[in-house]
Amino acid sequence: MSDAASRLRRLAAFLSKSLLLMATAMSLVAVLLIIVYIARDAIPFFKLHGLKELFASAAWFPSGTPPEFGAWAIFVGSALVTAGAVVVAVPLGVAAAIALSDILPYRLRQAVKPVIEVLAALPSVAYGFFALVIFAPLLQQRGGSLLAVAAWLVLLPLGLLLILIVSGAATRSVRPDVAPAARWILAAALAAILLRGLLALGSLLASLTVASGTNALNVSVVLGVMALPTIVSVAEDSLQAAGRELREGSYALGATRAETLFKAVMPAAGSGIIAAVILGVMRAIGETMVVWMASGNAAQVPQPWYNLLSPVRTLTATIAGDMGEADQVLGSSRYHVLFALALCLLVISLLANLGSEWILRRKQRRLGGAK
Amino acid sequence: MDLRTRKLFDRSLTGVSVMAVALMALALAILLAPIVARGLGAFFFRATSEFRRFNLEQFDRGDPRAVAAETRAVAAARRPVYDMLAAFEDELAELDTSRRPALRKQLREVKEGLVELLGPPPGEIAAVMLRQQYGQTRWDRARGKLAGILFAVKWDYSDPSRMGRKVLVPRRSAFAGTRLEPLFPYLERNLKAMLRPRPVFYWRFLADRSLDSHFFGGIWPEILGTVYLTLGAMLLAIPFGVIAAVYLSEFAAAGRVVSLLRVCISTLAGVPSIVFGLFGLAFFINTLHLSRSKSVLAGSATLALLILPTIIRASEEALKAVPRSYKEAALSLGASPLRMVLTVLLPAALPGILTGIIISMGRAAGETAPIIFTAAVSVGQPLKLWETLSQPTPALPWNIYNLATEHQAVDEIRHVQFGMVLTLVLLVLLLNLAAILIRARISKKMRG
């Protein structure tokens, strides 16, 4: 090969490589542009109104004279709805991930995968439509009894299990010949207390009247289901990544499957599960359509603050809902306050993302180091 | 803990986790069942004579002679209704003055109900809005309207501790003894003869434009808008996404730049979709002035950014799955790295890349928040291809929101809403199914 041709070839290789790099840098550019352009339109609001009004006041009257932009209730709404979604999604998601990684046989696992994929693929507006048109009326008409049934379904099995364990542990030091009898008597007494409590709770819940089906509870449940696929798939990956040797070592020491999972696998996969939860939370915070359609959109702090049956308003729904009126008044505080809210949302999601990234990467390094 | 408790604990963990999986499947079933069942109602329903008259007059569809004959037949069946109304109006003037105002109000409600049920009475000048020119086109809606005529709704507030209760009062009792009394049994008995319901398969729901803000017709403009937005987004995102994946998997040496790029990609994936929407408004429309206001172009560009990370990740996975021996063979034959990528690596990874592309297509088609401020309008005509550069469009996800919350008669067009949701869900699920099939083929080939 001649000298000139090889130089030409090296030049072409260099050029093509830098072109590839430039195209790859697109995502970097996009992230920077998003931050810059959201911040650029948010700053005028902070200049005009300062930080205090947005975060410290709960008076949200953007079209009043003078307009008030206290977004405290909106932050509370977002937090409440997200917390509700976490309560629904995390136990369910982690349990399902355990089933998928350790318990179900291969065939069944393959059958469940599409369920997760479909749940993840369904458009958010379809979830929102379900929440608004089907779930909200149901909640409004039969909310109390639905809650009572749900409480029974969740608390009865968990309570019975707890009773068996507690009664076993409490009677361990009793004389062996009377221990079984003592254990069953204790269990029966505890079960009676549990049933009494459940009956009271059930009738209390059943007597609740749900004033409006579009409320924080509705949105929490639907958001929880939406966040499930993320949590399940990331948690399952990290459970799988804990490895076969770990499990076999634990089994060889005589541990049951549950003990292996809780004492050996979960500690090893813990950071991955935390990352899964963070990603699920982000999905819930950033979701717009479900909360816009079914949260009731009332900018008020619920009374008392944990009252999930009251309508709430979230950051995303406020941005989506108010921009329709605000973009006619381009450049006003009303327009800029929405960018300020978006900036808060962006900061939250950036922090959460970096956090989960850091956790996953640290784990990777640790696992890599162990090898 | 004794052995029995340990075993019990183990078994209950199995039970709880299997139950969690079952609950997840149940949630999916609960979610999809009503959407599928009621969504199919937009396609399969019992269409009345009004539906056929509407199709002939507005879409020029159907046999004119048959429709004319049917119109005459139903008009004959409706004749007694209008006769009874006319007779009662004469009678009303002679009635006891104490009864008159209440009856007059009820009469007005009955007449309004009849216009909605059967269309305008014969001999009346045609109204402007289409929904006032035709009666109910669907038998299920007609039954609902009939109930509105037969019963008056009253609210019972007698128990102050509870919310008001809805009570249905038969109107027949209000009109007892008058000449209108026989109207109610007549309507109940002869509604079929007046509307002649027949089952149809209205596949044109997908292909018809909507008339009178979705009271009639189909959802073609929305479908077309969604297709434009999705294809536009893919067109913009695929080149960048695939190139980025090639660079990251083949050319990049591990280092600060690459890890920064990776952080950016995962950050981009985590940005809430509504923030993308605001960014699209602030950047593409207000700064770059891609179009004067909302347009398909601006919406596609916004969606492209949203799906970029998905495409990059999927493509990178696919590229990494190509066996090293392929690349080494190509390189050892003297191919330049670039040539190796183009002729060996990309073709080998193509099915995997395609899977990622198809899944992100589903994502782009279903996203609502990014197009609210950048592309979507609630009412619009189907666009020509070149108009997408400057015009906004209706789109399925946005119009589902709009029809379900902001439409002036939300309850009247439930079937359209469900039909739209079903269409969108089917679109997304079909795309995902295609991806699953391609993936199954790849894994088969890899094994074989």
pLDDT tens digits for range A283-316: 999 999 999 999 988 888 888 877 888 899 999 9
The reply to whether B224 falls in a domain is: yes
B279 token code pair = 């960014």
- Residue A330: predicted pLDDT: 63
Instruction: Chain A: give the shortest CA distance to residue B251, in Å.
Output: 7
Average pLDDT, chain B: 89
The structural domains of chain A, ordered by start, are: 36-145+204-370 (1.10.3720.10)
Residues of chain A found within 8 Å of residue B314, distances taken between Cβ atoms: none
β-bridge mates for residue B198, sequence order: B47
Q: Residues B308, B234: one domain?
A: yes
At residue A344 the predicted structure's pLDDT band, cuts being 50, 70 and 90, is very high
Closest-CA residue of chain A to B245: A24
pLDDT single digits (tens) B26-68: 999 999 999 999 999 999 999 999 999 999 998 898 899 999 9
Instruction: Chain B: give the shortest CA distance to residue A20, in Å.
Output: 6
Are residues A99 and B312, on separate chains, in Cβ contact within 8 Å?
A: no
Are residues A258 and B308, on separate chains, in Cβ contact within 8 Å?
A: no
Closest-CA residue of chain B to A287: B272
Are residues A123 and B163, on separate chains, in Cβ contact within 8 Å?
A: no
The reply to whether B424 falls in a domain is: yes
| Residue A280 near residue A120, CB atoms below 8 Å | no
Are residues A112 and B25, on separate chains, in Cβ contact within 8 Å?
A: yes
Of A28, A122, A353, the CB nearest to B270: A353
Are residues B28 and A21, on separate chains, in Cβ contact within 8 Å?
A: no
Single-letter code of the amino acid located at A129: F
The reply to whether B195 falls in a domain is: yes
Q: What are phi and psi of B230, to 5 degrees?
A: -65, -50
Instruction: Chain B: give the shortest CA distance to residue A169, in Å.
Output: 7
Q: Residues B247, B353: one domain?
A: yes
Q: Residues B435, B382: one domain?
A: yes
pLDDT over threshold 50, residue A370: no
Residues 6+ apart with CB under 8 A from B321: B349, B352, B446
Average pLDDT over residues A98-123: 91
pLDDT over threshold 60, residue A369: no
Average pLDDT over residues A225-249: 92
Of A21, A23, A168, the CB nearest to B1: A168
Residues 6+ apart with CB under 8 A from B125: none
Are residues A128 and B401, on separate chains, in Cβ contact within 8 Å?
A: yes
A194 token code pair = 């549990």
The reply to whether B206 falls in a domain is: no
Beta-carbon contacts below 8 Å between A and B: 282
Of A9, A31, A342, the CB nearest to B268: A31
Name the 3-class secondary structure at A63. Answer: coil
Q: Which of residues 131-160 of A touch B (CB under 8 A)?
A: 132-134, 157
Considering A8-12, A48-52, A59-63, A227-231, the range whose residues carry the highest mean pLDDT is A227-231
Interface test with A, best of B11, B230, B267 (most A CBs within 10 A): B267
CB of A288 within 8 Å of a chain B CB? The answer is yes
- Residue B422: predicted pLDDT: 97
Closest-CA residue of chain A to B266: A353
Q: Residues B249, B361: one domain?
A: yes
User: Which H or E run contains A69?
Assistant: strand A68-69
Q: Which of residues 63-82 of A touch B (CB under 8 A)?
A: none
pLDDT over threshold 70, residue A118: yes
Are residues B24 and A119, on separate chains, in Cβ contact within 8 Å?
A: yes
The reply to whether B13 falls in a domain is: no
Helices (H), A122-178: 124-129, 136-170
The reply to whether B114 falls in a domain is: yes
pLDDT single digits (tens) A175-203: 778 878 888 888 899 999 999 999 999 99
Q: Residues B150, B275: one domain?
A: no
Are residues B308 and A26, on separate chains, in Cβ contact within 8 Å?
A: yes
Are residues B267 and A168, on separate chains, in Cβ contact within 8 Å?
A: no
Residues of chain B found within 8 Å of residue A352, distances taken between Cβ atoms: 270
Residues 6+ apart with CB under 8 A from B197: B46, B47, B48, B139, B142
Are residues A20 and B425, on separate chains, in Cβ contact within 8 Å?
A: no
Instruction: Chain A: give the shortest CA distance to residue B70, in Å.
Output: 37
- Which CATH number goes with the domain that contains B409? 1.10.3720.10
Of B18, B248, B275, the CB nearest to A345: B275
Closest-CA residue of chain A to B9: A258
The reply to whether B193 falls in a domain is: yes
Residues of chain B found within 8 Å of residue A344, distances taken between Cβ atoms: none
**N- to C-terminal Cα distance for chain B?**
50
Interface test with A, best of B274, B281, B401 (most A CBs within 10 A): B274
| CA B179/CA B176 separation, integer angstroms | 8
Instruction: Chain B: give the shortest CA distance to residue A83, in Å.
Output: 17
Are residues B373 and A323, on separate chains, in Cβ contact within 8 Å?
A: yes
- Residue A319: predicted pLDDT: 92
Average pLDDT over residues A99-104: 92
pLDDT single digits (tens) B138-158: 999 999 999 988 998 888 777
| CA B433/CA A193 separation, integer angstroms | 51
| Residue A84 near residue A70, CB atoms below 8 Å | no
Instruction: Chain B: give the shortest CA distance to residue A276, in Å.
Output: 13
Single-letter code of the amino acid located at B297: L
Nearest by Cα to B215 from B409, B429, B440, B43:
B409
Q: Residues B301, B394: one domain?
A: yes
Q: Residues B175, B291: one domain?
A: no
Are residues A125 and B282, on separate chains, in Cβ contact within 8 Å?
A: no
| CA A218/CA B201 separation, integer angstroms | 35
Average pLDDT, chain A: 87
pLDDT over threshold 50, residue A371: no
User: Which H or E run contains A60?
Assistant: strand A60-61
Residues of chain B found within 8 Å of residue A21, distances taken between Cβ atoms: 247, 251-252
pLDDT over threshold 90, residue A99: yes
Burial category of A77 from C-beta neighbours within 10 Å (exposed 0-12, middle 13-18, buried 19 and up): buried
Are residues B282 and A37, on separate chains, in Cβ contact within 8 Å?
A: yes
Residues 6+ apart with CB under 8 A from B372: A320, A323, A324, B274, B277, B398
Write down which residue in B174, B201, B228 finishes a domain. B201
Share of residues in chain A with pLDDT > 70 (%): 96
The ipTM (two decimal places) reads 0.92
SS3 letters across chain B: CCHHHHHHHHHHHHHHHHHHHHHHHHHHHHHHHHHHHHHHCCCEEEECHHHHHHHHHHHCCCCHHHHHHHHHHHHHHHHHHHHHHHHHHHHHCCCCCCCHHHHHHHHHHHHHHHHHHHCCCCCCCCCCCHHHHCCCCEHHHHHHHHHHHHEEEEEECCCCCCCCEEEEEEHHHHCCCCCCCCHHHHHHHHHHHHHCCEEEECHHHHCCCEECCCCEECCHHHHHHHHHHHHHHHHHHHHHHHHHHHHHHHHCCCCHHHHHHHHHHHHHHHCCHHHHHHHHHHHHHCCCCCCCCCCHHHHHHHHHHHHHHHHHHHHHHHHHHCCHHHHHHHHHCCCCHHHHHHHHHHHHHHHHHHHHHHHHHHHHHHCCHHHHCCCECCCCCCCCHHHHHCCCECCHHHHHHHHHHCCCCHHHHHHHHHHHHHHHHHHHHHHHHHHHHHHHHHHHHHHC
| CA A318/CA A338 separation, integer angstroms | 8
Q: Residues B157, B247: one domain?
A: no
Of B16, B270, B362, the CB nearest to A349: B270
**Boundaries of domain holding B441:** 220-447
Q: Residues B193, B296: one domain?
A: no
Q: Residues B260, B313: one domain?
A: yes
Average pLDDT over residues A126-131: 96
Write down which residue in B170, B201, B232 finishes a domain. B201
Residues of chain A found within 8 Å of residue B365, distances taken between Cβ atoms: 123
Residues of chain B found within 8 Å of residue A127, distances taken between Cβ atoms: 31
pLDDT single digits (tens) A51-84: 888 888 888 888 777 788 888 899 999 999 999 9
Instruction: Chain B: give the shortest CA distance to residue A352, in Å.
Output: 9
Instruction: Chain A: give the shortest CA distance to residue B439, in Å.
Output: 13
Q: Residues B278, B165: one domain?
A: no
Closest-CA residue of chain B to A286: B272
- Domains in chain B, number: 2
Tell me the CA distances in angstroms from A144 to A148, A205, B166, B320, one per residue in order. Answer: 6, 5, 19, 53
Tens of each residue's pLDDT in chain B, 448 residues:
678 778 888 888 998 999 999 999 999 999 999 999 999 999 999 999 999 999 999 889 889 999 999 999 999 999 999 999 888 888 887 777 777 888 888 888 898 899 889 888 887 777 788 888 898 999 999 999 999 889 988 887 777 766 677 888 888 888 888 888 888 999 989 999 999 999 999 999 999 988 888 889 899 999 999 999 999 999 999 999 999 999 998 887 778 888 888 889 989 999 999 999 999 999 998 888 888 888 999 999 999 999 999 999 999 999 998 888 998 999 999 888 888 888 899 988 988 899 899 999 999 999 999 999 899 888 888 888 888 888 999 999 999 999 999 888 888 899 999 999 999 999 999 999 998 888 888 777 766 5
Residues 6+ apart with CB under 8 A from B227: none
Closest-CA residue of chain A to B241: A24
Write down which residue in B144, B166, B201 finishes a domain. B201
B212 token code pair = 């009178």
Average pLDDT over residues A11-30: 86
The reply to whether B334 falls in a domain is: yes
Q: Residues B258, B183: one domain?
A: no
Interface test with A, best of B30, B265, B361, B368 (most A CBs within 10 A): B368
Closest-CA residue of chain B to A128: B401
